[in-house]
Chains A and B, each alone.
Chain A
Amino acid sequence: MRLAVIAFIALAAAPLNAAETAAPDARALLDAGRYADAAEAARDRIAESPQAADAWRTLADALAAVGEYEESLAAYQKIPPGPDGPRLDVEMAMAQIERVYGLSALWRQRTERVLSAYRGRQATLSAGQIRAAGDAAWVLAGEDPGLYATALQIYERAIRRDPSDPASHVAIGDLLLDRYNNEEALEAYRAALSLNENFAPALLGIARSQHFDHSTGAVDTARQVLEVRPNDVGALVLLARLQLELEDYASAESLIGRALSVNSRSPEALTLAAAIAFLNGDGETFDSRVAEIREDAPGYTALFETLAEIAAQNRFYARAERFALWAVNLNPNASRGYALLGINRLRLGEMDAGRASLEVAFRGDPFDPRTKNALELLDVLDDYEKIRSARFVLSAHPREMRVLAPRVIAIAEQAYDYFSKVYGYRPRTPVRIEFYRRHEDFSVRTTGLVGVDILGVSFGPVIALDSPSAGVFGPVNFGSTLWHELAHSFHLGLTNSRVPRWFSEGLAVFEERRARLGWGFDVTPEFLLAFQQGRLAPASALNQAFLRPSYPEQVVHAYFQGALLMEMIQRDHGFEAIVHMLEGYRDGRSTSDLFRQVLGVEPDALDAAFDDFLRERFGRALSALTPIADPEEGNMPDGRYPHLLRTARRAMEAEDLDGAMAALIEAQALFPEHAGADSTYPMLAALHFQRGETELAIDQLERAIAIDADDLDAHRRLAELHMESGNRAAAAEVIDRALLIQPFDATLYRTLAEIRESRGEWQQAASAREAVAALEPSDPAEARYLLARAHHRAGDLPAAKRELLGALEVAPMYEEALELLLRIREASGA
């Protein structure tokens, strides 16, 4: 990317010398991106005045912009030197072309000469020439990082020389953006725009910084550049990249076609063309594009780094690792390449190799936040414990491992068996599962940066999750989340990472929903309203909802929508159709092809069928959410269901329990699928309890958690009611499920242990006591004594003795523990 940046700086060069004959029309044409016209106008001017330096400069820049580099170099050479020696901006423009296109081995000498000449002549140089020296320092900084600061200082000097020249501000912005300082880069670009609001390089800089920041404004800003300069290759390439990130390969291809029609030798555009071919599974085109770039632009080192980034963005982590490896083979100084190599190795579970690569990257470029964050994350992971099971390695904080491991391993092993069977595919083991106590660490693991707003990710061989203790997203069932991410690991492996996000997300939620009652997303009034109002993305274009949501909740709705689509496909075509679609993705087929070939429907027809499915599935609820204008019953602008909920709440406030009960019963009959804190279930449960109808209250809460297994309050209340009604077995079962939402609640484990003990279920009691002891209880001696007692009663005397010694080490005078120690010794004949 750096070449493009510097090329645009060259294009924005200040006039060579105000005293010389200018060719303003030609320069204006060049600035407008009309390169052929600019070249023609410059040639006309040169025909009139062969020594017109500005005309030669415009011609050279115009030729470079369309990829006629050899001719461009010839034109640069025609530019007469200035009164004090060679023009530094011309020298640097030539050096850049020579470097990237391998047209001369002199580029380094030329670059060093520019920097050296600047040091001797800085007092007399124009802002444009000073900037060229900054470019020289920046190029050389690749091998000598200390020169980044020099480049910045030189650009600042250029601003002082001519504060009205926006190009110097852009140069600073580009350098800062390259050095990951997006915030100050933006300031520099804005400073340039304050001097010239249509300055295309500044607009492009802002678009790039928005892309760096994952801001949605990048597309609009890049389009603004094209309004000013329709042939701006940099803007076209950036827009294509953004389309690739939206998985819209066709649009990306069209944009790259436009870029290549301007400059068929642009290595950035050709790299994107190679990336598109890769993502389309077109190996032949990919190979030829890569060969073309390598042959024509051997000095373009960003090729494989860009490919690695794009591959990783599209979940091809193994290919990303391979591309990064090629990047560092091509350029042993490629710190970015080593960073990408390291990060992708970590994603593949190759922790030691990943660390080694990151350390190389850090030595070369200690300012890359992704490298630094990833190395710090590895330090965090060093302190984590690891446990190995048959098919998994679990990594978790030592304070959480003993609590998490039994449940996580059980669910993971069960999921592996289940998914292997239904998908007919077994991923390579061990699969690594990491639980992060700090959401920031999880975020770094996911993207290299903080600020990710998800709680689980699957890279295939590695799954990373927020620990329930991270607590960023409120109560969430971690069993369900783990199941979801494991489903992704199977989808990614089965399709060689070619499954589109929407399909994998929908299928993973579908798998959650059929794994356990209450797991996965469930229907909400907001989802049905979005459907009624036509805001849901069409079923055949769900990827857009994930990648470019049109309203804030659309991503959440898309998860559920995807799951329902899978439900419909299973109903109409059997689950094997879903597996066939996965196999189709693996073979490089598109979604619309698969709709036709596997489901036998056109995308439009599928959309219509899915709408019918939703109407059929939620018919009553949809009616109950339809506005009513009834003069007799009154207006219900948001439908009968919300009206009844409001009526019930008002009745409860007025202590009209019968009225509230009647409204809630009617509401629930209209929309029984709606659970959660704002639904009928907790209110009806409370009312029944108030009336002494404990069994009915229990029934309400049982139904609520069967729909929404994330509802911790409902689980707690239900367990209490089971206890009150004497059904300790049912209470234990509910607490077991609650512990998948809140696995660090010692009180829940204590209650569970007491129930298990009262039922003589000593092995299960020991398991619950084990968790209490692991949760840093306020009374550690007692916790370990009770654990020892449970082990003792379960017949595990060595474990009992181990825990007793632990308890007595803290509390030697603990009489009950001492007595149990004697009994164990007596039982073992000592």
Chain B
Amino acid sequence: MTVRTLILALLVAASANAPAAEPHLIIVTGLGGESYYSDLFHRWAGSLTEVATTRLGISPARVIRLAEDPSQDPEFIAAASRKENLIDVIHRLSETSVEGDVIALVYLGHATTRGDSALLNLPGPDLSAVELAAALDVLAGKTVVVVIAAPASAPFVETLSAPGRIVITATSSTSENQHTRFGGHFVDAFAEDAADLDKDKQVSMLEAFRYATREVARVFETEGRIATEHAMLDDNGDRTGSRDPDGDGGDGVLAARVHLQAPAAANTAAGGEALALQIQARRLVDRIEEVKRNKRSLESVDYLQQLEDLLVELALNRRAYRAQQVH
């Protein structure tokens, strides 16, 4: 682990121990080009809106939706997904959010490259990766997640990559310029228990990424076709994405910690004892992760014993926490 990633990990871990603030979510759908894609992007955005405001518990005021055609769902769509509107939303969020907040921007649509420019295809002028990067600079100090679920989106990684920022693209090359399925599966990840691999009842960005990439691969395999999209994730600011981030020193460390789950009402309401149990649980998980990291240097029996001891402690913690919740 580099010094920088270590610092990041500690920062995020520290913030995870404290009550997390409610995330901000910007959902942008681009030009469909034809009704099939317009409808598809609209459906994906609708699903994400619904899952964010229900399952994830984000208040509707914190979900800002920009779309090709606002009349499709005027109740939820704030404005047309024009370049100036998106930049304006980002600027406004820079004023209303506070340091440490999670701000996620999910783009569902088409993208293209022209010369050296990577472009999001929006109503009106396209938005280049460079313009988007400049707009995002105002969110310094916040944990920013940018998901570009679009073909030919790979260059966004290099341009948007920055410390404390998670950048996810649906493709790892500009030649992967066919319609991508990543967006739909990425949205599904927040609605599926199966995406919550570590069963902590929240889907991290890394889990959502893994779920979506796995499902995309499965679709291509089932159809017997060669995969035409390979998603990437960058979260260590090195301007290089990983197709298989493992959270073990390279990309994935930050993404494993960041999620879009709003803090549960019970957590904050239950008072000091519940909170202490939550903090203790998180520390136990950290110790378990440390044992796992040392797995290779331990005898199998010792490893399993250490793991079991910590898990039992954690199990007792969860029992106590549940008892708190009942009372």
A779-B193, A779-B194, A805-B304 known; A812-B318 Cβ under 8 A: no
Q: B residues within 8 A CB of A819?
A: 315, 318-319
| Cβ contacts under 8 Å, B304 to chain A | 805
Task: Select B200's contact among A779, A809, A813, A825, beta carbons within 8 Å.
Answer: A813
Contact B200 A811 (CB under 8 A): yes
Chain A's closest residue to B308 (CB) is: A805
For A778, give its contact among B198, B215, B285 (CB under 8 Å): B215
B308→A815 contact, CB < 8 A: no
A595 beta carbon closer than 8 Å to chain B: no
- Shortest Cβ distance from residue B259 to the other chain A in the assembled complex, whole angstroms: 12
Establish whether residues A812 and B214, one from each chain, have CB atoms under 8 Å apart when the complex forms: no
**Which of B218, B284, B292, B318 is A815 in contact with, Cβ under 8 Å?**
B318
- Say yes or no: A811 contacts B199, CB within 8 Å: yes
A808 adjacent to B311 (CB under 8 Å): yes
Say whether B199 contacts A814, CB under 8 Å. Answer: yes
Docked CA distance A809–B308 (Å): 9
Q: B318 is contacted by which of A801, A809, A818 (Cβ under 8 Å)?
A: A818
Whether the Cβ atoms of A805 and B311 lie closer than 8 Å is yes
Measured between C-beta atoms, what is the minimum distance from B140 to chain A in Å? Answer: 32
Shortest CB distance B196–A (Å): 8
Residue of B nearest to A814 (CB): B199
Interface size on B, residues (CB 8 A): 30
Q: A779-B194, A805-B304 are in contact. Are A812 and B314 (CB under 8 A)?
A: yes
Closest to B292 in A: A809
Q: Contact at B311–A821, with CB atoms within 8 Å?
A: yes
Q: Which residues of A sit under 8 angstroms from B315, Cβ to Cβ? A: 818-819, 821-822
Q: Which B residues touch A24, using CB under 8 A?
A: none
Q: Tell me how far the C-beta of A535 lies from the nearest C-beta in chain B, rounded to whole angstroms.
A: 35
Q: Does A522 contact B (CB under 8 A)?
A: no
Cross-chain contact A818 with B314 (CB below 8 angstroms): yes
Q: Is the CB of B318 within 8 A of A782?
A: no
Q: Are B199 and A781 in contact (CB under 8 A)?
A: yes
Q: Determine whether A810 belongs to the interface, using a CB cutoff of 8 Å to chain B.
A: yes
Return the chain B residue nearest A807 by Cβ: B199
Within 8 A of A (CB), among B182-231: 193-201, 211, 214-215, 218
B307 contacts the other chain (Cβ, under 8 Å)? yes
When distances are taken between beta carbons in the complex, the residues of chain B under 8 Å from A781 are 197-199
Contacts of B314 in A (CB 8 A): 812-813, 818
Size bin of chain A's contact surface:
20 to 34
Complex CA gap A815/B289 in Å reads: 17
CB closest residue in chain A, given B211: A778
Cβ distance B225 to chain A, nearest Cβ, rounded Å: 15
Instruction: With both chains docked as a complex, state the minimum distance between the C-beta of A472 and any C-beta of chain B, in angstroms.
Output: 13
> Shortest CB–CB separation between residue A826 and chain B, in angstroms?
10
Give Cα distance in the complex from A818 to B312, angstroms.
Answer: 7
Contacts of B193 in A (CB 8 A): 779, 782
Is A817 on the interface with B (CB-CB < 8 A)?
A: yes
Are A813 and B281 in contact, CB atoms less than 8 angstroms apart?
yes
Q: Is the CB of B194 within 8 A of A778?
A: yes
| A780, CB-defined interface residue at 8 Å | yes
| A-B residue pair count with CB separations less than 8 angstroms | 73
CB distance from A129 to the nearest CB of B (A): 55
Asked if B198 and A782 sit within 8 Å, CB to CB, the answer is no
Q: How far is the CA of A658 from the CA of B65 in the complex (A)?
A: 54
- A378 CB, nearest partner CB in chain B, Å: 28
Closest Cβ of chain B: how far from A431's Cβ, in Å?
Answer: 33
Whether B308 and A811, one on each chain, are in contact in the complex, defined by CB atoms closer than 8 angstroms, is no
Could you say which of B201, B285, B292, B314 has the most chain A C-beta atoms within 10 Å of its C-beta? B314
Question: Do B214 and A813 touch across chains, with their CB atoms under 8 A apart?
Answer: no
In the bound complex, residues from chain A placing their C-beta under 8 Å from that of B194 are 778-779, 782
Cβ-defined contact, B308 with A813, below 8 A: no
Using CB atoms, name the residue of chain A closest to B288.
Answer: A812
The secondary structure that dominates the A interface is helix
Chain A residues contacting B196 (CB-CB under 8 Å) are 779, 811
Are A825 and B312 in touch, CB under 8 angstroms?
Answer: yes
Q: In the complex, what distance in Å separates the CA atom of A779 from the CA atom of B210?
A: 11
**Chain A contacts of B11 at CB under 8 A?**
none
Is there an interface contact between A809 and B215, defined as CB atoms closer than 8 Å? no
Residue B316 lies at the interface, judged by CB distance under 8 Å to chain A = yes
- CB neighbours (8 Å) of B292 from chain A are 809
Q: Which residues of A contact B215 (CB under 8 A)?
A: 778
> B311's contact among A778, A780, A812, by CB below 8 Å, is which?
A812
In Å, the complex CA distance between A779 and B281 comes to 22
Contact partner of B198 (CB less than 8 A), chosen from A801, A805, A810, A818, is: A810
Chain B CB within 10 Å, residue with most, of A808, A809, A813, A817: A813
Kindly state the separation between the CA atoms of A782 and B198 in the bound complex, as whole angstroms.
Answer: 9
Contact A822 B198 (CB under 8 A): no
CB distance from A814 to the nearest CB of B (A): 3
Within 8 Å by CB of A813, from B218, B285, B312, lies B285
Bound together, the chains give a CA A129 to CA B231 distance in angstroms of: 65
CB distance from A783 to the nearest CB of B (A): 10
B200: A residues at CB distance < 8 A: 811-813
Instruction: Flag if B311 contacts A818 (CB, 8 Å).
Output: yes
Q: Which residues of B contact A815 (CB under 8 A)?
A: 199, 201, 318, 322
> With contacts A805-B304, A818-B311 known, is A812 near B197, CB below 8 A?
no
Query: What residues of A have a CB within 8 angstroms of the CB of B311 in the complex?
Result: 805, 808, 812, 818, 821
Q: Which of A778, A809, A818 contacts B214 (CB 8 A)?
A: A778
In angstroms, Cα B304 to Cα A781, docked, is: 17
Cross-chain contact A813 with B307 (CB below 8 angstroms) = no
Query: Are the CB atoms of A822 and B285 closer together than 8 Å?
Result: no
Residues of B contacting A822 with CB < 8 Å?
A: 312, 315-316, 319
Contacts of B318 on A, CB cut-off 8 Å? 813, 815, 818-819
Partner of A805, one of B281, B284, B285, B307: B307
Minimal beta-carbon separation of B322 from chain A (angstroms)? 8
Contact of A809 among B211, B218, B284, B307 (CB under 8 A): B307
Query: CA A817 – CA B197 in complex, angstroms?
Result: 13
A611, B316: Cα distance in complex, Å? 77
A821 touches B197 (CB 8 A): no
B211→A821 contact, CB < 8 A: no
Q: Within residues 773 to 830 of chain A, which ones have a CB less than 8 A from any CB in chain B? A: 778-782, 801, 805, 808-815, 817-819, 821-822, 825
The CA-CA distance from A105 to B197 in the complex, in Å, is 77
CB-CB nearest 10 A-B residue pairs: A814-B199, A811-B199, A818-B315, A813-B200, A779-B194, A811-B198, A822-B315, A812-B288, A778-B194, A812-B285
Residue numbers of A with Cβ under 8 A of B are: 778-782, 801, 805, 808-815, 817-819, 821-822, 825
Known pairs A801-B308, A813-B201; list 12 more (Cβ under 8 Å).
A779-B197, A809-B307, A811-B199, A812-B314, A813-B281, A813-B285, A813-B314, A813-B318, A819-B315, A819-B318, A821-B312, A825-B312
15 of the cross-chain contacts (CB-CB < 8 Å) are A778-B215, A781-B198, A782-B193, A805-B308, A808-B311, A811-B197, A811-B199, A812-B285, A813-B198, A813-B199, A813-B314, A813-B318, A821-B308, A821-B311, A821-B312
